[in-house]
Structure 1
Amino acid sequence: MKKNIIIVRGGGDIATGTIYKLHQSGYPVLVTEIANPSAIRRQVAFSEAVYEKSYTVEGVTCYFAENLTRAYELLKQRKVALMIDPDGAVIREVKPAAVVDGILAKKNLGTTMDMAPFTVALGPGFTAGVDVHAVVETMRGHKLGRIIYEGNAIPNTGIPGAIAGVAKERVIHAECAGILYGEKKISDYVQKDEVIAFIYPDTQGKDASGQEKKDGAFAVRATISGILRGLIRDGYLVTKGFKIADIDPRESEYENCFTISDKARCIAGGVLEALLHAGILPE
């Protein structure tokens, strides 16, 4: 069995930056996810392995493991393994050197200090020294990536960090409940007000007043012009207010759709520093 296994809870784009860096630094990494991940920046999210059975980001492939035996086999081969384990039950069996909560739910969904000798959480919702041993700041700005050993990260403002001067407008939320199907694909250039997806209301869906319909569906329109950097998977059942898309206003940043973001890399650096500071070394 591998020593110093790091379990990362969550495989979205921010957590993927940490998973990538820890793997490249020599740590065995086991990722745990829910059964239906909702990553927006899917091109750079290892959580896509839940659907695709394997997923590659910047040359590193994450493999889906049906059980812990298979996960151990992958780790022995120096590969990133991912399991469906929303409650963290596998943590007790693995006894990892550290647990990283990369769910970014803006609240604690169950990570505790006694899960491992060292625990790290990304972003708000945790108190360092109480819930976990350390918290890494996720708010864009001067403190991004900073390690907090006592206290909390900056509270969630509900407003995305600005890119090229654009903040709230670059993120799109569902205006009704239903099943989403994209009209555009990630990396497409879109104009403001252009239709990028349709939401087909399910039996519990509510009307979105004034929205254009297509065979009973509601149109999702681009809020700004730019590169469609993220869009939730086709067939995903969304609720009203659910984050479904992300547009980068920088027209020249096409490659950003396929590479780990500066924010994710900075946060990953904080996690790596915290592990090394705690004396948890790569194999």
Structure 2
Amino acid sequence: MLVEIRGAGDIATGIALRLHRAGCKVVMCDLPVPTSIRRTVSFSEAIRLDSCEVEGVRARLAHDVAEARAIVVAGDVATLVDPEAASVAQLRPAVLVDAILAKRNLGTRIDMAPVVIGVGPGFTAPRDCHAAVETKRGHYLGQVIYEGSPAPNTGIPGVIAGHSADRVLRAPADGTFEPGLQIGDVVRAGQVAATVAGVPMRCTIDGVLRGLLQEGVEVTSGMKSGDIDPRCERAHCFTSSDKARAVGGGVLEAICGLTKRLEG
């Protein structure tokens, strides 16, 4: 089964890992300059580095649809620079998953593939997708919704070890992002993690730096640019999160259920 995923950030990658391990062939689409914070667990890094590996699964950059097909046949995940998902018309995937997590639908339609799944707020099943998957942390995380929409975006990050919005690092100014630390570094509140136009971006809490934008990205003031995990488990920086795994499980459940309906 060929599955195409819009987005290649950490949640999309958690989905891709679940589907790849379940035997699906996975093609992912992202921006030419991805802005994934958790780069060490995002297949979007293949766009920048030509290839990357997460939890033993390799993703490779495909320069066109033909190369994407060859990559998945070889057993790897293919990553395309294709933010508009124009490749869907050529690849004709059995399943299209929108995991951009833009908090709104950026053009995915229910008629784009036999099975279309929307991840997070902005989707309504069965209007613009056959099923939607809840991404809000809590009791319903990963739930498959066949009628209705996931919980609306509150703008407040989920709570981890008692911390919510204060664990997110945001660009202090407009300009070019210049990191001073690396993902996996143990940090203290007040420590400078990066600078933008000479303005320091300081760590907000103690913990381990779980996410940080790459050098040279153009950012705007207030843009999410880093993430601190207060649990201070360095290994968490290099494996998919509980949230990504739960959402990935929901997508896999939806594919199995919807495919069974089509076959029946």
Aligned-partner Cα distance in 1 for 2:174–2:105 = 25
Partner of 1:7: 4
Shift of 1:280: 6.4
Q: Does structure 1 residue 218 correspond to structure 2 residue 199?
A: yes
Partner of 1:35: 32
Contact 1:97 1:280 in 2 (8 A): no
Partner of 1:85: 82
Shift of 1:65: 0.5
Shift of 1:125: 0.8
Aligned-partner Cα distance in 1 for 2:222–2:126 = 33
Partner of 1:206: none
- Describe the superposition over 1:200-232 as per-residue Cα deviations: whole angstroms up to 9, x where unpaired: 2xxxxxxxxxxxxxxxx0000001111000000
Aligned-partner Cα distance in 2 for 1:118–1:67 = 23
Partner of 2:221: 240
Runs of 4+ in 1 over 3 A off after TM superposition: none
Q: Which runs of 5+ in 1 are unaligned?
A: 201-216
Q: Does structure 1 residue 254 correspond to structure 2 residue 208?
A: no
**Of 23, 26, 39, which residue of structure 2 is paired with 1:26?**
23
Partner of 2:258: 278
State the TM-score, normalized to the length of structure 1: 0.91
Counterpart code for 1:256? H
Counterpart code for 2:178? Y
Partner of 2:181: 184
Aligned-partner Cα distance in 1 for 2:188–2:213 = 19
Aligned-partner Cα distance in 1 for 2:17–2:34 = 18
Partner of 1:138: 135
Contact 2:115 2:259 in 1 (8 A): no
Aligned-partner Cα distance in 2 for 1:50–1:270 = 26
The percent identity for this pair of structures is 47
Shift of 1:133: 0.8
- Describe the superposition over 1:161-206 as per-residue Cα deviations: whole angstroms up to 9, x where unpaired: 0000100100011121110111111010111011110102xxxxxx
Contact 1:144 1:267 in 2 (8 A): yes
Contact 1:44 1:258 in 2 (8 A): yes
Aligned-partner Cα distance in 2 for 1:195–1:279 = 49
- Other structure's SS at 1:46 match: coil
Contact 1:182 1:198 in 2 (8 A): yes
Q: How many residues align?
A: 261
Partner of 1:67: 64
- Other structure's SS at 1:179 match: strand
Contact 1:176 1:240 in 2 (8 A): yes
| Larger-gyration structure (1/2) | 1
Aligned-partner Cα distance in 2 for 1:81–1:254 = 28
- Describe the superposition over 1:85-128 as per-residue Cα deviations: whole angstroms up to 9, x where unpaired: 11111101111101000100101111110100110011001111
Q: Does structure 1 residue 148 correspond to structure 2 residue 129?
A: no
Contact 2:29 2:85 in 1 (8 A): yes
Partner of 1:116: 113
Aligned-partner Cα distance in 2 for 1:96–1:272 = 15
Aligned-partner Cα distance in 1 for 2:222–2:113 = 35
State the TM-score, normalized to the length of structure 2: 0.97
Contact 1:118 1:278 in 2 (8 A): yes
- Other structure's SS at 1:269 match: helix
Aligned-partner Cα distance in 2 for 1:91–1:280 = 22
Aligned-partner Cα distance in 2 for 1:40–1:138 = 17
Q: Does structure 1 residue 101 correspond to structure 2 residue 81?
A: no
